[in-house]
């Protein structure tokens, strides 16, 4: 049974039982605790945690997930994949244990001909929390599972919580016996490779208090409404139903693996490193495809870094398999064909997706070249210092800073006769992972801070948000929060969070900065600094109290700064216009991947590989301003998400949308996007628009910045004044300024070339003069000199060395603070006598420095005179030894 069919059967089964089918949320979900969705329940967290009422009593989904904590196990086990899909059914205060257990068992054992998965009951085991007699009784009495296949397990295995105060409860799992070939008999307690978990049912029925670990917390009591959260791993079910040993061989990954094997000429199935690398490729290519589809582009931090790491591990695996040509474009095409039956957007947006992958592979190839050069220097320094090992710190820097894989460092260092301090590298990696886990835990425990918002929401209900309708409201202060804790009031100078019953302020979202303005009333005035939505339905205002006391229960006038809002509307509508102009000029693959706008300013990131030429940038700017001049109408409509997609509305990557969405049209289909921001009513209200910069923000992604309205006038005025001043200085008409500046630059470059030629002549003259003053050491001339900098020192040493008529050695000192640099040159005749610049310098410096037999340099301490004298002694000793 194909994976897409397993998915379809799951959704059909639960749709027939009254569940609302919810589309998968994008992988980069808007959640401060996560980089990517890592479990099927994540999009439903606000409902499960009681932060906001669920819009439906029961739901089902197949959620895309990414986990990378176990990335090093990918390819080595049957179950570890960085991308997976979690089938889940959920109840929000509707049905509970009996129905959840019966639904799971019915679907998993129902015959294939009747729409089920047809797993034989004789191969299935279940587990329950050891105190959950209710669940054990349902499995035994209502479902009919034999008691000897119902395993009772402790709190670590069969009890769920978020790790912070809130909902918790026992869980129950369904396992399948894969047979004696996979391990010993005895059920899940004996071996979880043989008895593999397929489905986990979580019964959220209690509330837990504070505490650490998986069991060190109190149970405070039962929840008023009990919830169900289940998860069935789609890939696990696929490799069971398809008769495979692991998730890398199912229909959504095996074609990628086989194409990688074909390209590399390394067949799969013979075991060892080859099989592991092919599995890594199959897993990582699919993961990267799905991440890029959801709008992430490679970068150096956060989600972009995770994507970069996954892509580069894929490339590295192909290189280790012996394939050196570009591979990602072709492998992504195979992955597209595997995934598009379930996710049509993969095929619809494939040109952009492929461009991102190809650009990153090209960038990584450049990194490998750069890293190779850096590694060569590190090896050379280690050898010069007499070391036989490359330090762990050097290997870690190559890995962490330059993306240079450790296995490549090991191979290349070994080729040059050095080991690598693997223990030191591993310790630094472990420390990095510890910091990352600590950071993840700190983000996770951020849910503890949400409790105060949940209490406010429970007590007062959602904020009446009127930002689209008015700039001022008469409001009541519902809550004042100081440092995350409730307070009765705030005094002059305090910075606090305030919750109002109604508000006209736009809360920061969708790239638009929040409104500015004032709260005033009862002798108090407070400046609004930021507005946000910490929980769905709740709006909070960060304010600085300017005068008086702002107290809970007070009546205030909440007023948005009208000029601020106007500038914000111009900038947000301007962002849509620039996006449409980019797509008009560059084509439909130039899709927005992120944006930010504030009054008068906008920034837009979009998918594109190359720098925009001056002419292209001007063309985009002109297309945007023509839309403004034509005064295109701006229309806001509300409609179902499915309808918005039908009419071609563009969604911002990474955003999660409700089933009812807001569509903003500028000029009809010319610019049609899903958007919750504030906008002008006609394009002419945007005012002039000027693009101020265009730059790279990562492989396959560019950024344009622009100003609009009054800020555009000011920018253009500054540009005009600059040109006027240049014209005045050059005494030329304004239209001739570019040619005059170009001529000046050309003349300056010619003057620099002439200066270099003169400097060369002076060096030759100085070299001849120095050579004439050379001292004699056993028939070899010895020349000493000083230079102002290293470049001049090397040039002088080379000039003396090449123009010395007989065997000679030259030493040029470059003074510095606390230490100095010494450059040593040895002429061809002196090299014939066995003298080497690199050997002489290293011995004089005690092992430091490096270079070639003809030219070397290194840093010394003490005085240059003493070191030059030491060099003279070494020359004499070497020549004496020859005799």
Greatest extent of the chain over all pairs of C-alpha atoms, in Å: 108
136-145 pLDDT, tens digit each:
999 999 999 9
Residue 311 confidence class, pLDDT cut points 50, 70, 90: very high
* pLDDT value of position 654: 53
Query: Cα–Cα–Cα angle for 642, 646, 649, nearest 5°?
Result: 90
Nearest by Cα to 801 from 757, 735, 753, 851: 851
407: confidence class by pLDDT, cuts 50, 70, 90: low
Distances (CA, A) of 783 to 253, 770, 805: 69, 7, 13
Structure tokens at 807: 């065997």
447 is in an annotated binding site: no
Mean pLDDT of 664-669: 94
Better pLDDT: 177 or 379 = 177
Q: 703 forms bridges with which residues in the sheet? A: 605, 695
**b/e string for 202-215 if b means 16 or more Cβ within 10 A?**
bbbbbbbeeeeeee
Closest CA to 103 of 178, 10, 226, 21: 10
For residue 637, the tally of other CB atoms under 10 A from its CB is 14
Lookup result for tokens 């396959």: 700
Q: Which long-range contacts (CB under 8 A, 24 or more apart) does 760-769 make?
A: 763/795, 763/796, 763/799, 764/799, 764/803, 766/796, 766/799, 767/796, 767/799, 767/800, 767/803, 768/803
701 falls in which pLDDT band (50, 70, 90)? confident
517: part of which helix (H) or strand (E)?
A: strand 517-521
Please report the DSSP string for 107-168 in residue order. Answer: HHHS-GGGTS----GGGEEEEEETT-HHHHHIIIIII---GGGEEEE-HHHHEEE-SSSEEE
Phi-psi region of 274 (alpha: psi -120 to 50; beta: other; left: phi over 0): alpha
Confidence of residue 768 (pLDDT cuts 50, 70, 90): confident
What mean pLDDT comes out for the span 549-567?
95
Q: Give me the phi and psi of 662, to 5 degrees please.
A: -110, 120
Report pLDDT for 645. 84
Give the tokens for residue 559.
């007023």
Range list of β-strands (E), 178-218 = 195-208
100 pLDDT more than 90: yes
pLDDT score of 804:
66
Helix (H) or strand (E) holding 660: strand 660-666
The pLDDT of residue 691 is 95
Burial grade of 263 (CB within 10 A; 0-12, 13-18, 19 or more): middle
Given a cut of 60, is residue 540 above it in pLDDT?
yes
Q: Does the domain formed by 763-882 have CATH 3.10.310.40?
A: yes
Identify the three-state secondary structure at position 273: helix
Q: Is 19 assigned to a binding site? A: no
pLDDT, one tens digit per residue, over 648-665 is 888 775 566 677 889 999
Q: Residue 84 and residue 38: Cα distance in Å, rounded?
A: 9
pLDDT, average across residues 460-464: 90
Fold for domain 3-249?
BirA Bifunctional Protein; domain 2 (3.30.930)
Task: Give percent of the chain with pLDDT exceeding 70.
Answer: 94
Rounded Cα distance, 868 and 785, in Å: 10
Nearest to 309 by CA among 354, 364, 351: 364
- pLDDT of residue 447 exceeding 60, the answer is no
Are the beta carbons of 172 and 203 closer than 8 angstroms? yes
The pLDDT value recorded for residue 641 is 85
Return the CATH number of 450-560, one of 1.20.1250.20, 3.40.50.1370, 2.60.40.10, 2.40.30.130: 2.40.30.130
Q: Would you state the structure tokens that stand for residue 419, as one six-digit string?
A: 């080991």
Cα separation values, 403 from 279, 287, 397, 410, Å: 21, 19, 9, 14
Q: How far is CA 705 from the centre of its chain?
A: 21
Lowest mean pLDDT among 123-137, 207-221, 564-578: 207-221
Phi, psi of 87 (to 5 degrees): -80, 130
CA 312 to chain centroid, in Å, comes to 13
Tell me which range, 27-41, 244-258, 384-398, 726-740, is most confidently predicted by mean pLDDT: 244-258
Mean pLDDT of 284-289: 95
Mean pLDDT over the full length of the chain: 87
Q: What percent of the chain has pLDDT over 90?
A: 48
pLDDT at 803: 67
CATH of domain 565-721: 3.30.980.10
Of the listed ranges 232-246, 561-575, 721-735, the least confidently predicted one is 721-735
Alpha-carbon distance of 337 to 252, in angstroms, equals 9
Secondary-structure percent of the chain, ordered helix, strand, coil, rounded to 5: 45, 25, 30
Confidence band of 402 (pLDDT split at 50, 70, 90): low
Q: Is the pLDDT reported for residue 602 higher than 50?
A: yes
Place of tokens 């959950």: 132
Least confident stretch, 35-39, 84-88, 180-184, 695-699? 695-699
- Per-residue confidence (pLDDT) for residue 20, from 0 to 100: 95
Q: Distance between CA atoms of 848 and 830, rounded to whole angstroms?
A: 22
C-alpha neighbours within 13 Å on the C-beta side of residue 280: 25
Contact of 792 with 800, CB cutoff 8 Å: no
Residue-wise pLDDT for 329-384, tens only, equals: 999 999 999 999 999 999 988 988 998 899 889 888 877 777 777 777 788 878 87
Q: Which residue, chain included where needed, has tokens 């009333």?
A: 521
Crossing angle of the two packed helices 302-320 and 350-384, in degrees rounded to 10: 70
C-alpha–C-alpha distance, residues 448 and 210, integer Å: 9
Q: What is the C-alpha to C-alpha distance for residues 103 and 87, in angstroms, rounded to an integer?
A: 13
Q: Which two tokens stand for residue 363?
A: 């960038």
Q: pLDDT tens-digit profile of 255-273?
A: 999 999 999 999 998 888 8
Pairing, β 472-482 against β 689-696: unpaired
For 806-815, how does the pLDDT look when each residue is reduced to its tens digit (9 = 90+)?
788 998 888 8
Report whether pLDDT(71) > 80.
no
The pLDDT of residue 441 is above 60 = no
Band (pLDDT 50/70/90 cuts) for residue 299 is confident
The separation between CA 211 and the C-alpha centre of its own chain, rounded to angstroms, equals 31
Q: What are phi and psi of 781, to 5 degrees?
A: -70, 140
Burial of residue 415, with CB atoms counted within 10 A of its CB: 0-12 exposed, 13-18 middle, 19 or more buried: exposed
Of the candidate ranges 234-238, 246-250, 767-771, the one whose mean pLDDT is the lowest: 767-771
User: Which residues fall within 8 angstroms of residue 338, CB to CB, at 6 or more apart?
Assistant: 251, 252, 253, 255, 256, 286
Contact (Cβ atoms closer than 8 angstroms) between residue 810 and residue 797 = yes
Highest mean pLDDT among 33-42, 353-362, 543-552: 543-552
Strands 689-696 and 671-674: unpaired
CB proximity list for 828: less than 8 A, separation 6 or greater: 854
Q: Tokens in use for 45?
A: 């967290």
Residue 399 is assigned to a ligand binding site: no
Contacts of 224 (CB under 8 A, 6+ apart): none
Is residue 460 a known part of a binding site? no
Q: Is residue 48 exposed (0-12), middle (13-18) or buried (19+ Cβ within 10 Å)?
A: buried
Domains in the chain: boundaries: 3-249, 252-366, 387-448, 450-560, 565-721, 763-882
pLDDT exceeds 60 at position 440: no
Could you report the per-residue pLDDT of 179-195, keeping only the tens digit for each? 998 889 999 988 888 89
């Amino acid at each position: 049974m194909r994976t897409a069919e397993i998915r379809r059967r799951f959704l059909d089964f639960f749709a027939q039982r009254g569940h609302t089918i919810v589309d998968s949320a994008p992988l980069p979900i808007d959640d401060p605790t996560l980089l990517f969705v890592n479990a099927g329940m994540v999009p439903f967290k606000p409902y499960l945690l009681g932060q906001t009422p669920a819009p439906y009593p029961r739901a089902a989904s197949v959620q895309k997930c990414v986990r990378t904590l176990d990335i090093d196990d990918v390819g080595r086990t049957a179950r570890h994949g960085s991308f997976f899909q979690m089938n889940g059914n959920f109840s929000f205060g509707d049905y509970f244990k009996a129905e959840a257990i019966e639904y799971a068992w019915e679907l998993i054992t129902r015959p294939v001909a009747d729409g089920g998965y047809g797993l034989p009951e004789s191969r299935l085991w279940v587990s329950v929390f050891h105190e959950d007699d209710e669940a054990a009784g349902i499995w035994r009495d209502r479902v009919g599972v034999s008691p000897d296949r119902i395993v009772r397990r402790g709190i670590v295995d069969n009890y769920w919580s978020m790790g912070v105060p809130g909902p918790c409860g026992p869980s129950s799992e369904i396992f399948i016996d894969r047979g004696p070939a996979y391990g010993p008999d005895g059920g899940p307690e004996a071996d979880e490779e043989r008895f593999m978990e397929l489905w986990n049912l979580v019964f959220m029925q209690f509330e837990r208090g504070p505490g650490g670990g998986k069991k060190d917390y109190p149970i405070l009591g039962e929840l008023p409404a009990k919830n169900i959260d289940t998860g069935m791993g789609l890939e696990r079910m696929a490799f069971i139903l398809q008769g495979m040993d692991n998730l890398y061989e199912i229909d959504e990954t095996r074609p990628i693996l086989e194409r990688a094997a074909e390209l590399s000429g390394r067949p799969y199935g013979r075991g060892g490193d080859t099989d592991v690398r092919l599995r890594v490729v199959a897993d990582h290519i699919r993961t990267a495809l799905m991440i890029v589809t959801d709008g992430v582009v490679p970068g150096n931090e956060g989600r972009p870094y995770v994507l970069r790491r996954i892509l580069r591990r894929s490339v590295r695996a192909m290189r280790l398999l012996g394939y050196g040509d570009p591979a990602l474009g072709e492998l992504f095409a195979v992955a597209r064909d595997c995934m598009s039956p379930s996710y049509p957007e993969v095929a619809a947006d494939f040109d952009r997706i492929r461009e991102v992958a190809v650009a990153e592979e090209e960038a990584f190839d450049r990194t490998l070249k750069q890293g190779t050069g850096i590694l060569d220097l590190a090896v050379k320094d280690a050898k010069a210092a007499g070391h036989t090992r490359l330090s762990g710190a050097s290997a870690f820097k190559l890995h962490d800073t330059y993306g240079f894989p450790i296995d490549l460092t090991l191979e290349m260092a070994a080729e040059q006769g050095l080991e690598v301090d693997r223990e030191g590298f591993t310790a630094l990696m472990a420390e990095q992972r510890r910091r990352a886990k600590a950071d993840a835990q700190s983000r996770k425990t951020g849910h503890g801070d949400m409790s105060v918002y949940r209490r406010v929401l429970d007590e007062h209900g959602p904020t009446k948000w009127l930002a689209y309708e008015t700039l001022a409201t008469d409001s009541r202060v519902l809550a004042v929060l100081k440092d995350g804790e409730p307070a009765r009031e705030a005094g002059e100078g305090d910075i606090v969070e305030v919750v109002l019953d109604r508000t006209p302020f736009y809360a920061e979202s969708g790239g638009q900065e929040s409104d500015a303005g004032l709260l005033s009333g009862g002798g108090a005035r407070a400046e609004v600094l930021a507005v946000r939505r910490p929980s769905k339905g709740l709006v909070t205002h960060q304010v600085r109290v300017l005068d008086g006391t702002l107290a809970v229960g007070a009546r205030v006038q909440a007023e948005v700064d009208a000029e601020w809002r106007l500038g914000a509307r111009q900038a947000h509508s301007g962002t849509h216009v620039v996006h449409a102009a980019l797509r008009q000029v560059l084509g439909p693959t130039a899709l927005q991947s992120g944006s930010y706008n504030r009054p008068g300013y906008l920034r837009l990131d979009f998918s594109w590989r190359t720098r925009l030429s001056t002419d292209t940038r001007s063309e985009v700017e002109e297309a945007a301003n023509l839309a403004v001049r034509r005064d295109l109408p701006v229309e806001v409509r509300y409609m179902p998400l499915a309808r918005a997609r039908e009419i071609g509305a563009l969604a911002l990557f990474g955003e999660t949308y409700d089933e009812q969405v807001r569509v903003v049209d500028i000029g009809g289909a010319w610019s049609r996007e899903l958007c919750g921001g504030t906008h002008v009513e006609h394009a002419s209200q945007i005012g002039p628009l000027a693009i101020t910069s265009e730059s790279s923000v990562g492989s396959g992604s560019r950024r344009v910045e622009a100003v609009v309205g009054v800020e555009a006038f000011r920018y253009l005025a500054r540009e005009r004044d600059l040109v006027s001043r240049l014209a005045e200085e050059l005494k030329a008409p304004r239209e001739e300024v570019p040619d005059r500046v170009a001529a000046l630059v050309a003349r300056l470059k010619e003057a620099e070339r002439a200066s270099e030629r003169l400097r060369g002549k002076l060096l030759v003259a100085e070299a001849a003069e120095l050579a004439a003053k050379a001292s004699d050491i056993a028939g070899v001339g010895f020349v000493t000199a000083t230079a102002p900098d290293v470049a001049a020192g090397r040039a002088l040493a080379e000039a003396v060395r090449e123009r010395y008529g007989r065997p000679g050695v030259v030493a040029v000192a470059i003074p510095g603070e606390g230490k100095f640099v010494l450059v040593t040159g040895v002429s061809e005749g002196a090299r014939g006598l066995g003298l080497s610049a690199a050997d002489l310098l290293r011995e004089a410096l005690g092992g430091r420095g490096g270079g070639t037999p003809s030219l070397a340099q290194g840093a010394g301490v003490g005085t240059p005179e003493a070191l030059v004298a030491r060099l003279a002694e070494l020359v004499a000793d070497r020549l004496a030894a020859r005799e």
